[in-house]
């Protein structure tokens, strides 16, 4: 689940803290843990809003027993090791120190362009049961009026709005897990059709090599107005960069659309290597100047616990 705070105001941070804390409380194993988790959320989001001076993206991943909170912003980065201990009697400078006492993990990573990513694991454990309780959505990811031409919205704006609203409706009615599964299935199916087209165009049979996978990815993304390029190719992985998102600026208001790219790439790779993992290392959707996508193949995928996993049953 992801949120965009733009403008990033103290009121927006407070509202998100209230929403996230309520969500954690509904699904926590022990409700006593939630207040500490809410305090961590408040400190990290509040710091980003106060010091970044621009939009803030917040993501929550509760696929493990404890949820991981990630905050992206465009403000200056810092080294946790350089932070001095809080002064006795001072009300400032205590936030990150307090987070380090409460959270299981805390890391700060500078982005290659501008800004940073702060990640922590919240001190709360989820009950072992499925949940279908989507958060409120206040950011409108649909086309804005200024995108319309003299004859109204064009085909691209209409189709983009259709994809966004279908995913949102599924999430609101059946929960975020179902929506993510739906987007992944759509991406995998469309990716299969794109792979068939690529094979016909190149007259290929058998398993695609890593270089051919990269070529297929570039072909299909170029066709939908992406600007992907190869960073590196090895026998067990493909790393791509991207300068322009096919969804345009909409992706900053709906970062979950990145899952479409993940499932297209991962589905094609898994069909050829049995298993694949897609790591969305950098994303325009969360303020990075470019995207950086790593696709792990076969054994390399099985050894990696992170990212989005794909498996093809032959």
Let me know if residue 280 belongs to a domain.
yes
Residues 69 and 183 in one domain: no
Residues 54 and 116 in one domain: yes
Residues 32 and 80 in one domain: yes
Please choose, from the candidates 310, 307, 279, 304, the residue with its C-alpha nearest in 3D space to the C-alpha of residue 293: 279
In this prediction, residue 51 has a pLDDT band, given cuts at 50, 70 and 90, of confident
Three-state SS at 60:
strand
Let me know if residue 12 belongs to a domain.
yes
- C-alpha gyration radius of the chain: 21
pLDDT at 175 over 70: no
Give the domain CATH number at 81.
3.30.565.10
Query: Going by C-beta distance under 8 Å and a sequence separation of 6 or more, which residues neighbour residue 169?
Result: none
Residues 116 and 179 in one domain: no
Q: What is the pLDDT of residues 148-170, one digit of tens each?
A: 667 776 666 677 677 767 766 76
Q: What's residue 135's pLDDT?
A: 43
The domain of 234 spans 149-311
Let me know if residue 139 belongs to a domain.
no
Residues 242 and 110 in one domain: no
Q: Residue 109 in contact with residue 282, Cβ under 8 Å? A: no
In this prediction, residue 146 has a pLDDT band, given cuts at 50, 70 and 90, of low
Residues 221 and 257 in one domain: yes
Share of the chain above pLDDT 70, in %: 80
- Number of domains comprising the chain: 2
Q: How far apart are CA 311 and CA 314, in angstroms?
A: 10
Let me know if residue 126 belongs to a domain.
no
Q: Cis peptide before 73, with omega less than 30 degrees from 0?
A: no
Residues 156 and 225 in one domain: yes
Residues 112 and 189 in one domain: no
pLDDT at 136 over 50: no
For range 59-77, the mean pLDDT? 87
Residues 110 and 157 in one domain: no
Q: Note the pTM of the prediction, 2 decimals.
A: 0.65
Let me know if residue 103 belongs to a domain.
yes
Residues 300 and 199 in one domain: yes
Scanning 131-253, the segments in alpha helix (DSSP H) are 155-174, 176-202, 210-223, 250-253
pLDDT at 256 over 60: yes
Give the domain CATH number at 214.
3.30.1380.20
Count of beta carbons in the 10 Å neighbourhood of residue 246: 21
For range 8-15, the mean pLDDT? 89
Residues 291 and 173 in one domain: yes
Q: What's residue 154's pLDDT?
A: 67
Residues 159 and 289 in one domain: yes
Let me know if residue 70 belongs to a domain.
yes
Residue 100 backbone class (left: φ over 0; alpha: ψ -120 to 50; beta: rest): alpha
Tell me which H or E stretch contains 100: helix 95-102
Mean pLDDT of the chain: 81
Q: What's residue 139's pLDDT?
A: 47
| C-alpha 15 chain-centroid distance | 21
For range 53-81, the mean pLDDT? 86
In this prediction, residue 245 has a pLDDT band, given cuts at 50, 70 and 90, of confident
Q: Which residue has the higher pLDDT, 1 or 77?
A: 77
Let me know if residue 129 belongs to a domain.
no
């Amino acid at each position: 689940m992801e949120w965009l705070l733009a403008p990033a105001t103290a009121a927006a941070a407070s509202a998100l803290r209230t929403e996230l804390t309520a969500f954690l409380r509904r699904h926590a194993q022990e409700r006593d843990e939630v207040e500490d988790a809410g305090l961590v959320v408040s400190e990290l989001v509040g710091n980003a809003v106060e010091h970044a001076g621009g939009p803030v993206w917040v993501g929550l991943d509760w696929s493990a027993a404890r949820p991981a909170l990630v905050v992206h912003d465009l403000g200056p980065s810092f080294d946790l090791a350089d932070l001095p201990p809080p002064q006795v009697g001072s009300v400032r400078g205590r936030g990150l120190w307090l987070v380090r006492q409460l959270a299981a993990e805390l890391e700060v990573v500078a982005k290659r362009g501008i800004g940073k990513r702060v990640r922590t694991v919240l001190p709360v454990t989820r009950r072992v049961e499925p949940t279908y309780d989507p958060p409120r959505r206040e950011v409108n990811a649909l086309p804005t009026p200024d995108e319309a031409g003299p004859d109204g919205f064009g085909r691209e704006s209409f189709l983009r709005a259709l994809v966004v609203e279908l995913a949102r409706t599924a999430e609101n009615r059946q929960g975020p897990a179902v929506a993510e599964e739906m987007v992944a299935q759509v991406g995998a199916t469309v990716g299969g059709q794109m792979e068939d087209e690529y094979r016909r165009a190149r007259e290929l049979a058998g398993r695609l090599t890593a270089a051919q996978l990269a070529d297929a990815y570039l072909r299909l993304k170029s066709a939908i107005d992406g600007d992907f390029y190869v960073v590196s190719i090895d026998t067990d992985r493909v790393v791509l960069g991207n300068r322009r998102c096919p969804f345009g600026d909409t992706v900053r208001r709906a970062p979950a659309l990145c899952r479409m790219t993940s499932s297209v790439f991962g589905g094609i790779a898994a069909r050829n290597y049995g298993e694949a993992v897609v790591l969305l290392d950098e994303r325009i959707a969360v303020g990075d100047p470019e995207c950086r996508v790593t696709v792990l193949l076969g054994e390399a995928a099985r050894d990696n616990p992170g990212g989005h996993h794909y498996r093809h049953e032959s």
